[in-house]
Chains A and B, each alone.
Chain A
Amino acid sequence: MTAHERPLGGRILTPFFKLLLALCGVWVVLVVIRLLFGLGAVSAQNDGYAWGIWKPLNVVTFTGIAAGAYAVGLVTYLFNEGEYHPVIRSAVMAGAMGYTLAGTSVLIDLGRWWNLWVVFWPPVWNLNSVLLEVAICVMAYTMVLWVEIGPSVLEKLESSSSAKVSGAARRLLPMLQRAMPFVIATAILLPSMHQSSLGGLFMVAETKMHPLWHTSWLSGLFLLSCVTMGFGAVVVIENLTAMTWGKRIDQKLLARLNVVPAWLSLGYVVLRLGDLAAKGRLGLIASEGLYSFFFLLELALFLAPGLLLLSPRWRANRGKLFGTGLLLLFGGALYRFDTYLVAYQPTPGWHYFPYVREMLFSVCLAAIGVTVYVLFVKLFPILSGVDEAAATTPPRGLKAAGGAE
């Protein structure tokens, strides 16, 4: 049962939205401080832990959540399961925002950000660098995701009161739709490349990583876990938007969708344990103190949803599916944090823990994402399961795009 996407409508400047804007303001302040006084002024990153929480959280975890677009995209476009279209726009919106946030965070985190031109200038490229590939792919993919939002925006603009705008939209939309197969192919290729490479970044640090985490399979494991995170994200965001704005959820659709992460999660567990067994490192699982604890927690966070999601009864229950969706997100996030921070030890003696203002930066960055997401779903046809009545209520409190009255 497909439901057409509609703008949510309703007041924009709700108290919640105002809170979000305040957090956005705080973020701007933090950015100004960073630009004037250096990274050390707003983050506890140091020469031992040159990458603190911003990389694993703002970049890798946010894009993992954003990978809902990739995950649903794989299922929808690789297998042409058209029935998943109702959730795809929301997932792509979250994807676009997630990647924009990640890119923004990277920009702030770069010490010499004015040299970003090198990423666009092939003659200086070092093709051995995994990070270069990540940078190029992430930037390209962010653009692709916003192009994928294009149809939602254009559909809304088609019914604009301004003739010029509606005319332009009417011309652009079919053109965009014709280009879609190529856009979609790019949207499948790019995350396959960089999501795996985000794990591949750490292959070079073999002497500085705990043997429970370092492996040549880092790329594969990160790719697999980003897809499971993506599925988890879709379920969680669908439920969050439903709880916030009362939109309808197609539970049967979500139930069918979520058999995929079951197998992928279990596949992750098998691959992880198999890799350790092949290297003769299984014994470490029990003997490494705090490292063992984190490893087992990770494994549990993948194994539990993997097993639970195999049960159709479980998947049919909205709350339970939401719960395992969260577990998938936590598991993927923990795996990323563990790889980037917990398992990484430069030399004995170095310690790192983020400052409160550093964590605040991430929270405020997420707030920006939520702000834009909320704005877009209220203005443009992104969410499905929205009642007609709600859709015709014009957005108030902010000059709506397209000049709707």
Chain B
Amino acid sequence: MTTFTRRDVLRVVAATGAAAVADVAEAREPHVAKPDDLGMLFDSTRCVGCRACQTACKEANELPYDRHAVSGGEYDAPLDLNGTTKNVIKLAHGEGDTAYMKAQCMHCADPACVSVCMAGALHKVKGGVVAYEKNTCVGCRYCQIGCPFNVPKFQWFTAVPVIVKCELCRHRGDKGAACAEVCPRSAVVYGKRAELLAEAKRRVAAAPEKYEQKVYGETDGGGTNVLYVTSRKVSFAALGLPTLPEHPLPQLSETVQHGIYKFGIAPIALWTAVTVMQLRARKKDEAGHGHGEGK
């Protein structure tokens, strides 16, 4: 009877391992933020926690107020971004001081959510804004897995859910982001990324004892269009902003996938090889036994 030789085993391993090619492929080119991309700058040293931005966002996006599920449906403030909240103010505790954090979509230069979205419901539009179009969304929630900031939120308690996240008020056209429009302290400002980045750097350099000497979003995760500056006493991590590598998050995944499936070479080769083997085997059987291998 047939015994498996080491060669046979190696062939099986090779066949299965063909799909496991990884680092040999060239890294995929990252998409970089353009200077004219639309974005925002948030200065946590200026925010007073008035939440005008939170209210303005609800009004501009026609989102309902939140209800606290625990207390039985009373109106309450949201704990986090959720299926009806695209912008939220949180209180961050730093070293001997507190600051407010404005959380919303970061509008990454090379977004993970866009890379993983099956049918491009999440895609970049003019101005580098990461937009959502429900018509091609299947609700698979891969974007929630992919986003390093955990921004996209889902509507869990409706028969007709959508993914919810800040879209920089692209529906308001030239008026720009509603949150920036109402901020009484100009803690959040809206504009072109290059200008915002320059302003952020200027502020940070002008008061080095006050500000953390880094503009978050300049290169984090490949760069984001929403930038943050903070005081030395409340670090970016305390604000809830994750420490990200400098390369964009989708780079590894896309490099491996496209490396394996480049031009469909590997799949076609495998399929052809097996077909040829089967046809040859059948010919042998037909010649030897006079009837085909039935299946």
Contact = CB atoms under 8 A, between A and B. Distances in A.
A61 interface: no
Contacts of B295: 85, 88, 148, 151, 177, 180, 184
Given A181-B278, A207-B249, A219-B19, A347 B2 contact: no
B252 A207 contact: no
A192 B18 contact: yes
A45 B144 CA distance: 12
Contacts of A201: 142, 145
Contacts of A41: 157
A112 B138 contact: yes
A220 B19 contact: yes
A196 B253 CA distance: 12
A126 B159 contact: no
Interface string A38-52: 111100011110110
B62 to A, nearest CB: 20
B12 A204 contact: no
A181 B282 contact: yes
A81 interface: yes
B164 to A, nearest CB: 10
A152 B272 CA distance: 26
A264 B13 contact: yes
A348 to B, nearest CB: 9
A381 to B, nearest CB: 11
Contact of A128 (B22, B245, B257): B257
Interface stretch (A114-122, A163-171, A330-338): A114-122
Interface stretch (A21-29, A72-80, A97-105): A72-80
Interface string B132-155: 001111111110111010100111
Interface stretch (A129-137, A237-245, A394-402): A129-137
A263 B9 contact: yes
A193 B249 contact: no
Contacts of A77: 274, 277-278
B242 A220 contact: no
Given A38-B155, A45-B156, A206-B249, A111 B145 contact: no
B29 interface: no
Contacts of A148: 295
A204 B252 contact: yes
Interface stretch (B116-124, B190-198, B211-219): B116-124
B242 A347 contact: yes
Contact of A36 (B2, B81, B159, B242): B159
Contact of A80 (B20, B267, B277): B277
B236 to A, nearest CB: 14
B161 A200 contact: no
Interface in B223-272: 240, 242-245, 249-250, 252-254, 256-258, 260-261, 267, 270-272
A196 B153 CA distance: 28
A225 B256 CA distance: 19
A82 B293 contact: yes
Contact of B4 (A74, A219, A260): A260
Interface in A2-47: 35-41, 45-47
B162 A112 contact: yes
Interface centre among B114, B117, B118 (most CB of A within 10 A): B118
B72 interface: no
A370 interface: no
20 contacts: A38-B157, A40-B157, A48-B150, A79-B8, A79-B12, A112-B139, A113-B138, A115-B137, A119-B119, A126-B117, A128-B253, A131-B118, A133-B257, A184-B274, A192-B16, A196-B260, A204-B115, A204-B116, A207-B245, A344-B145
Interface of B: 1-4, 8-9, 11-13, 15-20, 22-23, 80-83, 112, 114-120, 134-142, 144-146, 148, 150, 153-162, 240, 242-245, 249-250, 252-254, 256-258, 260-261, 267, 270-272, 274-275, 277-279, 281-282, 292-295
List of 10 A-B pairs having minimum Cβ-Cβ separation, nearest first: A111-B139, A220-B20, A40-B156, A181-B278, A118-B119, A50-B144, A112-B139, A50-B141, A185-B274, A203-B253
Given A82-B293, A204-B115, A216-B252, 10 more contacts: A38-B158, A47-B82, A111-B141, A118-B118, A126-B118, A177-B292, A189-B267, A196-B19, A200-B256, A346-B150
